[in-house]
Amino acid sequence: MSRPARVTHASTRAAVLDLVRAAGMISRVGLVNASGLTGGTISTVVRGLIDEGLVAETGHAESTGGKRRVMLQLNHFARYAVGVHLDDARITYVLTNLGGAVVARISRPGSASEDPAAVVARMAREVDALIDSVGVDRDRVLGLGLVSAGSPGFGEDLERATGLPVVLDDDATAAAIGEHWSGGVGATATFAALCMGSGIGAGIVLGGTTYRGPGGQAGGIGHACLDVDGPPCPCGARGCLEVLAGPAAVVAQARANRSLARAAGLGRKGSAPVAADFAAISRAARQGDGRALALLERSARYVAAAARTLANALDLEVLVLTGPSFAIAGSTYLPVLREELDRAFIARGVHPVSVRLSPSAASAPAIGAAAIVLQSELVPRSQGLRLPDDLAAGEPPVFQHAR
Amino acid sequence: MSRPARVTHASTRAAVLDLVRAAGMISRVGLVNASGLTGGTISTVVRGLIDEGLVAETGHAESTGGKRRVMLQLNHFARYAVGVHLDDARITYVLTNLGGAVVARISRPGSASEDPAAVVARMAREVDALIDSVGVDRDRVLGLGLVSAGSPGFGEDLERATGLPVVLDDDATAAAIGEHWSGGVGATATFAALCMGSGIGAGIVLGGTTYRGPGGQAGGIGHACLDVDGPPCPCGARGCLEVLAGPAAVVAQARANRSLARAAGLGRKGSAPVAADFAAISRAARQGDGRALALLERSARYVAAAARTLANALDLEVLVLTGPSFAIAGSTYLPVLREELDRAFIARGVHPVSVRLSPSAASAPAIGAAAIVLQSELVPRSQGLRLPDDLAAGEPPVFQHAR
C-alpha cells in the first residue's frame, strides 16, 4: 500500500475513506498505522466523515492492552454510483452502494444502430429506471461512470440529460479496477483483466496500481500479432488477435458454415451485433454443437497465446477473464488459457500465473465504472478530478471527465 | 518526477545526488524545488556531499531577484563503477565515472565453454586490467555490476575474486536503465529497450520507473508468440519470437544454405557462439550478400511484430534497439521496425512510437550495469540495498545483491 506524503484535505479524506472501505472494520489507531498520518489528522478526518454520514462507529474491539477501541465502518448506504458499460450488443447498468456492492442492475439492447441523441435520451430514461427501481434518493447518487471500448463521444450530453457528473473510461481498464477494488485479487497484485465483448482488450494493474500508459492507450492486446503473414486488420497490421480469433472472427467463421449458422440461429451478416452472434454460437456449443465448440476452442488457442505473450512481458501473477463474451464462453476459454500458462509461462519456476474467470464477468466493466465514480467523486469537485497516485490507498484511477 | 515522502538520511542523500547528476548544474534552491525537501534538509545533505568530495560548488548563476546563487555540480571523478555484460560470445567491461561516462572499455571472448571457476578467475584479471588501464585508485571504485540474460550463478565468487561489491541484474533491464540514465530518453518516458545478444529480451521503463515485475521476470519478449502452430521452443510453447527469428534461428537458417554458410565463414554448428555467427552473417549482409540480408530482413519482420505487440500493450513512447547483435545488424532492423510502428501502432493517432538505435548498443548493458552500481552503492551498505521507488528521483533500481 502506498503511503500518503503531503496530503491535502480532500485527498486525505478520500484515502482514509478508502482504507475504512478496504478494511471492513478498523479503529482510529488502525488507520494511523495503515495511512502513516498522525493521530490528530485521523481524528479530524474521521469526525468529518461521521458528520457527513459516510462512516459510522460500530461497537468495540479488544485492543492488545486490554483497552477497548471504537471501531469504524463504512456506512454503505450513504452514497451510490451508477456504472454503465456501453457495448454494441448490450448496455449494462449497475447501481452500487458506497462499498461497491451492486444494489440494482439492468441490461438493455446495445447502441449499434441508434443515433447518439437517441442513445443519450434512452440511457437517461434507463438510468432513471435503475435508480427508481430501488427507491434511492437521487441526491445520494454521486455520479455516472460510462465505459466502452472506444470513446462514446457524448459524455457531456449524457451529463446534461441525467443531471449526474459523468466520468469516461476504457471498459477493460474499468473491469480491472472493479476486480481489484472488489478484493478479487490482492491489493498489490500484478494482473491483467482480459475483457472480451465485441472485441478484446486488457486492463492492466501493476503492483496494485492501474497502468494506462502515457496516452491512456495501454492494454491493446486485441492487436497482439499472432501471425506476421496473417489476414489484414483494420488497425493497419496483419495477423492481430482480433482479426484471427476475436468474436467477429468467430462469427465470420461460423457464418461461413451455413449449416452451423442455421443451427446457431445466426441471421444475415450485420443483422445482429457481433457480441450477440458470438453469444448465439456459444449457446450452440454449450448445447452440444461440436462445430461451434471447435470454433471457440480454436479462438481460445489464439487468446491463450496472446495472454502468454502479455504474461511474459509483464511478469503477471493473475489473469482474469471478464466482459460479456467471456461471461458466456469463459468456461471454454478458461482451461485452454490455464494449460498454456501452466506449461509455457517463462517465469513459472518463480511463480505461477493464476487464471480465473470473473464471478461477475457480464457486469464487471459496469461495476468498475461505478467504482471509478465512487473513488473520484468522493474528492470534492473543486479539488480537481485526479486522485494522485501516491495518495489513493486503494486504487488510483486517472480518469477523463466528460466536460 | 516522484516526490520524496518520509525520507531517511541515506535515501535522501542518494536522491539529492541523483538530482545534481541529472541537472548538470543546480542551485540549492533548485534542489528544494525539484525534491520537495526543505531548505534545511537540502543544506545539510549538500554539506555532507561536499565533504565527501562527491559534489563541488562551481561559480554562480544570476537568480531572478538579481541575487547570485552558488551552483552545485557532480564531481565526476570522485567515484567509479565497473559494469560487466556477460554473453556467450563476448564479455564487455566498462569503467564509468560518477556521472556514468565511460572512461575505459574492454571486450574479451565470452564464457561459452569455460567452467565457472575459470571464468571468475579470468574476469577478475580483466577487471584489474580495466581499472589499471586508466590508473584509477581502486578505493574509488564503488562496485561491479554484472548483467546477463540468465543468472550467472557465480556472483559471490566474483565478489571474492575482485574484492568489489557485486550487483547482479538482467542485461535488457540494465540496458534500459543505461539509456534512461544517460538522458537518451526523457526522464519520465515510457519506453522499452529491445536488447539482442544471443537472445532477445526487453528492459521496460514506465513513466520513468524501471518495471521488473513481481518476480523480476518482466520483459520476456523473446517468448512473444508469433505463430500458434510454429516450431516448438525450449520454453515449452510454440512459435516464440526467438525460435522463429532470434539470432540462433537466423544462424540455423544461414547454415542450412551451405553456400551462404561458407560465404559468411560459419564453422560447424556449435563451433562458435550464436552471437558470433550472427555477427558473421550481418557482416556478409553488409558486404552485399543478398541471401544474408534476406535472412536478417525476415528476422526483422518478426521482431517488428513483437515490438508492435509490446508497444500496443504498454502504450510505449520510445523503443530503443540495443545490445551487441543490434550493434552490428541494427541498421537492417531499424527501418523495418519504424515502418511497422508508424503504420500499425494502434495509438498512433494519440502519439507516435519513436524507434531508435542506441548510440552505444554494444556496450549499453555494461554501461547500465555500472549505472546500477553507482545508484545502489551510493546508499550506505548498512542502510539496505534497495532504493525506494518513491525516493530515487532518477532511476530506482530494484536489484539483487550477490551475497
Say which CATH number the domain at B320 has. Answer: 3.30.420.40
CA distance A161 to chain B (A): 29
For residues A68 and A342, what is the distance between their CA atoms, to the nearest angstrom? 48
In this structure, is residue B130 part of a structural domain?
A: yes
Q: What percentage of chain A exceeds 90 in pLDDT? A: 72
- CA B205 from chain centre, in angstroms, equals 11
Asked whether residue B201 carries a pLDDT value surpassing 70, the answer given is yes
pLDDT at B186 over 80: yes
Range of the structural domain that residue A136 is part of:
80-177+364-401
Q: Are residues B321 and B252 in the same domain?
A: yes
Residue from the list B211, B223, B390 with its beta carbon closest to the beta carbon of A346: B223
Q: Are B187 and B167 contained in the same domain? A: no
**In terms of CA atoms, which chain A residue is nearest residue B37?**
A6
**Does B155 lie in the same domain as B47?**
no
Q: Are residues B222 and B247 in the same domain?
A: yes
Q: Do B225 and A2 touch (CB under 8 A)?
A: no
The number of folded domains in chain B is: 3
Contact at CB, A350 and B215, closer than 8 angstroms: yes
The pLDDT of residue B393:
32
What band does A401 get if pLDDT is binned at 50, 70 and 90?
very low
Q: Which of B81-95, B170-184, B353-367 has the lowest mean pLDDT?
A: B170-184
For the stretch B61-120, pLDDT in tens is 665 665 667 899 999 999 999 999 998 889 999 999 998 899 999 999 987 777 889 999
Average pLDDT estimate for A267-282: 93
The string of pLDDT tens digits covering residues B8-56 is 466 788 888 888 988 889 999 999 998 888 999 999 999 999 998 999 9
In a domain, B4, yes or no: no
| Nearest CB to B308 within list A215, A225, A227 | A225
Single-letter amino acid, residue A280 = A
Instruction: Kindly report the backbone phi and psi dihedral angles of residue A363, in degrees, each rounded to the nearest multiple of 5, phi listed first.
Output: -105, -5
Strand (E) positions, A137-271? Answer: 141-148, 166-170, 191-196, 200-206, 209-211
Distance between B336 CA and the closest CA of chain A, angstroms:
13
User: What span, in angstroms and rounded, lies between the C-alpha atoms of A212 and B385?
Assistant: 30
Residue that terminates a domain, selected from A74, A89, A120: A74
CATH number, domain of A50, equals 1.10.10.10
Judgement on whether residues B297 and B197 belong to the same structural domain of the protein: yes
CA distance B70 to chain A (A): 29
Residue A1 lies in a domain: no
Q: Are residues A262 and A226 in the same domain?
A: yes
Check CB contact under 8 Å for B236 and A190.
no
Q: Can you tell me whether residue A103 is helix, strand or coil? A: strand
For residue A3, being part of any structural domain is answered with no
CB-based contact A76:A56 (threshold 8 Å):
no
Q: Are residues B26 and B89 in the same domain?
A: no
Give the model confidence (pLDDT) of A372-397 as tens digits. Answer: 998 876 654 333 333 333 323 333 33
Higher pLDDT, B100 or A212: A212
- Subunit contact B313:A312, Cβ cutoff 8 A: no
Q: Which of B221, B350, B390 lies at the smallest CB-CB distance from A215?
A: B350
Instruction: Kindly state whether residue A232 falls inside one of the protein's structural domains.
Output: yes
Determine whether the interchain pair B225/A306 forms a contact, defined as Cβ–Cβ distance below 8 Å.
yes
Q: Which residues of B touch A221 (CB under 8 A)?
A: 312-313
Retrieve residue A93's grid coordinates.
Answer: 447498468
Last residue of a domain, one of B340, B357, B374: B357
> Chain B residues with CB inside 8 Å of A309's CB?
223-225, 309
**Which residues in chain A are closer than 8 Å to B218, comparing Cβ atoms?**
313-315
How many interchain CB pairs under 8 A, A with B?
A: 160
Poorest-pLDDT segment among A222-226, B144-148, B397-401: B397-401
Residue B341 belongs to a domain: yes
Give the nearest partner residue to A213 out of B3, B219, B315, using CB atoms. B315
Give the position of cell 562527491.
B54
Are B264 and B223 found together in one domain?
A: yes
Q: Quick check: is B1 in a domain?
A: no
Residues A153 and A220 in one domain: no
Mean pLDDT of A64-71: 72
Q: Are residues B42 and B173 both part of a single domain?
A: no
Shared-domain flag, residues B306 and B394: no
- Which residue in the set A220, A228, A236 is minimally distant from B302, CB to CB? A228
Mean pLDDT of A399-403: 39
Say which range, A82-86, A269-273, B322-326, has the weakest mean pLDDT.
A269-273
**Are residues B274 and B168 both part of a single domain?**
no
The residue out of A43, A74, A105 marking a domain boundary is A74
B344/A221 Cβ within 8 A: no
Q: Look at residue B2 and tell me if it is in a domain.
A: no
